[in-house]
Chains A and B, each alone.
Chain A
Amino acid sequence: MMRGLLNKQPSLQLLNNNKKLAKKKDMSAHAVDHAVDHHDDHGHHHKETFVTKYIFSQDHKMISKQYLITGLFMGIIGIAMSLLFRMQLAWPDHEFTIYEVLLGKWGEGGVMDPSVYLALVTIHGTIMVFFVLTAGLSGTFSNLLIPLQIGARDMASGFLNMVSYWLFFISSVIMVLSLFVEAGPASAGWTIYPPLSALPQAIPGSGAGMTLWLTSMAIFIASSLLGSLNYIVTVLNLRTKGMSMTRLPLTIWAFFITAVIGVVSFPVLLSAALMLIMDRSFGTSFFLSDIYIAGEVLHNQGGSPVLFEHLFWFLGHPEVYIVILPAMGMVSEIMATNSRKPIFGYRAMVASILAIAFLSTIVWGHHMFISGMNPFLGSVFTFTTLLIAIPSAVKSFNWITTLWKGNLQMNPAMLFSIGFVSTFITGGLTGIILGDSALDINVHDTYFVVAHFHLVMGISALYGLFAGVYHWFPKMFEGKLLNKNLGYVHFWVTVVGAYGVFFPMHFIGMAGLPRRYYTNTAFPYFDDLTDVNVVITIFAFIAAAAQLVFLYNFISSMFFGKVGPKNPWKSTTLEWTAEVKHIHGNWDGPIPHVYRWAYDYSKLNKDETDYVIPGQDFAAQHIPLQDNEEEMNH
């Protein structure tokens, strides 16, 4: 009633009323207010304090920046850790003072302790998978782009969005704090298989370090669920007029389906974490049975570590799609824009996202072919796993066809998108070896696996993240652009470094070298692989150095970057029609309506004499259909 009345008021009146309203209502109701009246209403301006603007902000743009910066910070830690353990693997006999400086008692005399090596690989994996590539990637761009690209003033619930970020922040803090506990952080691998993760007698990191790990992850899952629910509701309910599901940009499809996968699978990891907490602290036996350790028999009986593996991978496998799908969506969008062509096969792209999402929930067993589960299950999981290659192949071919006869604008975002397709192909193809149970027997848990998943979901998703940052930086920092020449240096050094790291790793894996070995020279059998490890480490340092260029570019452009045109990449999507300056509510005037799909690049008029809009090779989504134009049937 009240709102209906308000909508009819002239905008000045509205602002006054709104101020009164804001006093009456609490913060969350106020945010909902923005979201609900998103069609005919004007943006609201009201005073913001430092705290509400930069810290407890409910504005999706600010939250997205918070996610990105937290994610980048965690990424720096994760990459620094990988350099430390790469040094150890390349030169196991050398003493490096840096170990003592950074690792304290675990690096005494410049020699890395085996327990800290395991801790480093564990925390590196956890941070990169969850904190950087889930929260840092999906959290950043879902938050930034969902409201802007569907034409909404904000997320469905700004308050939940804020809570989601702050839970993520708390979980990051706990994860970082866990590095400082006396016995060391969690060191049972990022998969934290019990009994190793359940018993402090088995490894020192399974004491307080593991408790903090589990606490941090439980909070992280809560954060992820709140975020995902918000994304789903926003996409379903707050699309502007004319934005039907079939007109959604592929970014939004990807974020939407990612959120659905998250809601389906993250709770299972939460239950696994809770059961593990029970086993560790309250004497239950979900995952423990018949254990003799440190000179005594434990009371636990009847549990099974294999159960944990099932629960873990029921999330763990969809998790890699949670990481890669948003990157795929952004790459599709960036490729189309910079090719000045529509994405090839829009419907096939959406269908393959759906197919991947469905299949991703029924393939987890391919991580467990040799776990001791029934071999028949292995057959089933081989079948479902290899099926994923089909939608993946369709996507790759469609990306390549999108480039065909385009007018490719080689912006850094475009380069990273092409790089993404490259690593997705090279990393994805080896999946047909690992997904095949018979072949997995021999390469399971070797460096072949490390090479495979780093290329297909680690490096690819990172490229997606970089592509997104280069492309949407102006939407995050009020029109400023990243420096393109630094971007080129960043890209070319990174791609050479990344392949230099991971190509050779396939070979040492095929030679039978197990992963998670503190040193490969404890016994002579693998001594002949020492030189490969040195090469890998050198490339790792080169690739990491390139990230410093990015970091410098990011920070300097954030403060001193040049403001570019309002729509620098000449893109069709709605976010480029929103205000350059960050205002609460995104559009100063009414929200634009949508009249076409998101990929009318280089579309010609009926007579094929010129583009639909003469002299301009794109028709943005909010431009009504022209007289001499045929509508794309979407």
Chain B
Amino acid sequence: MTAFLVVLVIILFGVAIWQMGKIFQLSKSKQDDTAQVANDKDNNINGWLMLGFTLFTYLLLAICFWKWGDVVLPRAASEHGPGIDSLMYVSMALIFVVGFFTLWLLGYFSFKYRGKEGTRAVFFADNDKLEFIWTIIPVIVLAGLIIYGLFTWTDIMNVDTEDDPMIVELYAYQFDWRARYGGEDNTLGEANVRLIEGVNTLGVDGSDPNAQDDIVVNELHLPLGRKVLFKMRSQDVLHSAYMPHFRAQMNCVPGMITQFAFTPTVTTAEMRLDEDVVAKVDKINGLRRAKNQNLGPDDEPLEPYTFDYLLLCNKICGNSHYNMQMKIVVETQEEYDAWIAEQATIAATLKQ
């Protein structure tokens, strides 16, 4: 009933405004008029505002850098990471120079040549030389950027098996990750989702001799300085294995095996001591402490946060997509050996 009355009031209000508008309209002459076309005053005000707007753009960018510049590109923790980062810095530098320059011209011209009654615009329709210059400059710059980019890309994507990389399968499903190590033979056993049964949640072929020493875990441990070749599989829909610190990402596609390789260069322990990471963790813990002070009687207080590398799902995969991640631990070879020795092999798991 209330809703009906509200709607009625809105309708009546609308009708009243409409009628008032009509009356207002009748009282005005119906001649052509240029009242709604910009005059010199508008040109002047908006010309100045255009200049101000350009400065606002610069200022906004500066504020963003000042406030959030530290979160951009966290320290790279893989061998190819710095390569990507330097390409990124070169591209960013180019963007800033070109962006600064062109936005300035745009804003300044809008201000400088704001219209004035009686001014004569210059009839300037063509200039082949100018146009050639600003075609050829982008051509040269982009040629450089393309070549630089392609070398970086090829370096990252072409996996040399002679490096003897450690083979690890990343297995994605709604909404979690599993990692499968090749074991002592560093070879993964055959697997297919059709073989999923009971404890064999990854569908590993139990009869494959290569599969016997495979190790399935829910936390990814990587030894420092050893190249890892990830083989990605998905059980149901598309997922994407995104490891921002390692500058690594690859989709997991049902029905095919995709791959990506990198060499970790910074242990978790070392990363926790990194200046930016310490600052980030402090900030997060500050927020958590603040939340703890406003807890209700039944809420559990939040634990202090410590930094860990993460593997995130980065391809929309369903309702809990936002909370599908796996912890990654980078450690020394000795620590890694000790950890992997404690994990059960597939043969042992399937026997149970």
- Interface assignment of A396: CB less than 8 Å from any CB of chain B: yes
Q: How far is the CA of A393 from the CA of B251 in the complex (A)?
A: 33
Taking a contact as CB atoms under 8 Å apart, the answer to whether B37 and A439 are in contact is: no
B residues less than 8 Å from A342 (CB atoms): 123-125
Known interface pairs A406-B113, A410-B115, A438-B156; A432-B145 also in contact (CB < 8 Å): yes
Q: Is residue B244 within 8 Å, beta carbon to beta carbon, of the partner chain?
A: yes
Which A residues touch B194, using CB under 8 A? 290, 292, 297
The answer to whether A565 and B34 have CB atoms under 8 Å apart is yes
CB pair A407 B116 closer than 8 Å:
yes
> In the bound complex, do residue B254 and residue A288 qualify as a contact, i.e. CB atoms below 8 Å apart?
yes
B76-120: CB near A (< 8 Å → 1, else 0) gives: 000000011001100110110011001101110110011110011
Of A344, A415, A439, A483, the residue contacting B36 (CB under 8 A) is A483
- Residue B25 is within 8 A (CB to CB) of chain A in the complex: yes
Q: Which of A193, A293, A430, A482 contacts B238 (CB 8 A)?
A: A193
Chain B contact residue count (CB 8 A cutoff): 129
A566 CB within 8 Å of chain B: yes
Chain A positions 400 through 418: 1 when the CB is less than 8 Å from some CB of chain B, otherwise 0: 1101111111110011001
The yes or no answer to A6 lying at the interface (CB within 8 A) is no
Contact at A436–B126, with CB atoms within 8 Å?
Answer: no
Q: Is A383 an interface residue (CB 8 A)?
A: yes
Measured CB to CB, the closest approach of chain B to A328, in angstroms, equals 15
Residues from chain B with a CB closer than 8 A to the CB of A406 are: 109, 113, 115, 121-122
* Chain B residues with CB under 8 A of A563: 30-33
Give chain B residues whose Cβ lies under 8 Å from the Cβ of A398.
Answer: 131
A511→B310 CA distance, assembly (Å): 13
Residues of chain B from 293 to 352 with CB closer than 8 A to chain A in the complex: 305, 310, 312-323, 325
Contact: B103 with A425, CB < 8 Å?
yes
Whether A305 touches B253, Cβ cut-off 8 Å, given contacts A442-B247, A488-B42, is yes
Which of A292, A430, A517 has the most chain B CB atoms inside 10 A of its CB? A292
User: In whole angstroms, what is the CA distance A203 to B203 when docked?
Assistant: 23
Bound: A567/B310 CA distance, A:
62
A481: chain B residues within 8 A (beta carbon) = 36-37
Determine the residue in chain A with the shortest Cβ distance to B91.
Answer: A433
Contacts of A390 in B (CB 8 A): 135, 138-139, 142
B316 adjacent to A196 (CB under 8 Å): yes
Within 8 A of B (CB), among A347-396: 347-348, 370-372, 375, 378-379, 382-383, 386-387, 389-390, 393-394, 396
CB of A572 closer than 8 Å to a CB of B? no
When distances are taken between beta carbons in the complex, the residues of chain A under 8 Å from B192 are 290
Q: Shortest CB–CB separation between residue B251 and chain A, in angstroms?
A: 5
Which residues of the other chain, A, contact B21 by a CB distance below 8 angstroms?
Answer: 556, 559-560
| Shortest CB distance B133–A (Å) | 9
Which residues from B are CB-within-8-Å of A110?
Answer: none
Q: B152: CB under 8 A from chain A?
A: yes
Q: Is the CB of B319 within 8 A of A522?
A: no
Q: Is A244 an interface residue (CB 8 A)?
A: no
* Residues of B close to A389: CB separation below 8 A: 138, 142
In the complex the two chains form, is A512's CB within 8 Å of B244's CB?
yes
Contact of A507 (CB < 8 Å), options: B47, B64, B314: B64
Whether B255 contacts A372 by the Cβ 8 Å rule is no
Stretch at the interface among A37-45, A51-59, A234-242, A600-608: A600-608
Q: How far is the CA of A409 from the CA of B255 in the complex (A)?
A: 60
Residues in B with CB closer than 8 Å to A410 are: 38, 42-43, 45-47, 50, 114-115
Q: Considering the complex, give the chain A residue whose CB is closest to the CB of B150.
A: A379
Q: Are B125 and A289 in contact (CB under 8 A)?
A: no
Minimum CB–CB distance for A234 against chain B, Å: 27
- Closest B residue to A115 by CB, please name it: B319
Question: If A379-B153, A404-B113, A512-B74 touch, does A439 touch B38 (CB 8 Å cutoff)?
Answer: no
Indicate whether A564 sits within 8 Å of B32 (C-beta atoms), given known contacts A432-B95, A433-B95, A523-B325: yes
> Which chain A positions have C-beta within 8 A of B235?
291-293
A372-B116 Cα distance, complex, nearest whole Å: 58
Q: Chain B interface: which of A137-145, A492-500, A540-548?
A: A492-500
Q: How far is the CB of A470 from chain B (nearest CB, A)?
A: 10
27 pairs, A vs B, C-beta closer than 8 Å: A114-B320, A202-B236, A290-B192, A290-B194, A291-B237, A291-B254, A343-B125, A370-B249, A375-B157, A397-B102, A406-B122, A407-B115, A410-B47, A411-B37, A418-B50, A436-B145, A484-B36, A507-B69, A518-B319, A527-B283, A527-B287, A556-B21, A560-B21, A563-B30, A565-B32, A602-B123, A603-B123
A residues adjacent to B (C-beta < 8 A) = 114-115, 118, 188-189, 193-196, 199, 202-204, 288-293, 297, 301-306, 339-348, 370-372, 375, 378-379, 382-383, 386-387, 389-390, 393-394, 396-401, 403-411, 414-415, 418, 421-422, 425-426, 429-430, 432-433, 436-439, 441-442, 444-446, 479, 481-484, 488, 492, 495-496, 499-500, 503-504, 506-508, 510-512, 514, 516-520, 522-525, 527-530, 532, 556, 559-566, 568-569, 599, 601-604, 617, 632
Q: Which 3 pairs, one residue from A and one from B, show the smallest C-beta to C-beta distance?
A: A289-B255, A512-B244, A375-B157
Residues of B within 8 A of A (CB): 18, 21-22, 24-25, 28, 30-38, 42-43, 45-47, 49-50, 53, 56-57, 60-61, 64, 67-69, 71-74, 83-84, 87-88, 91-92, 94-95, 98-99, 102-103, 105-107, 109-110, 113-116, 119-127, 130-131, 134-135, 138-139, 142, 145-146, 149-150, 152-154, 156-158, 173-174, 192-194, 196, 203, 232, 235-238, 240, 242, 244-245, 247-251, 253-256, 258, 260, 280, 283-284, 287-288, 305, 310, 312-323, 325
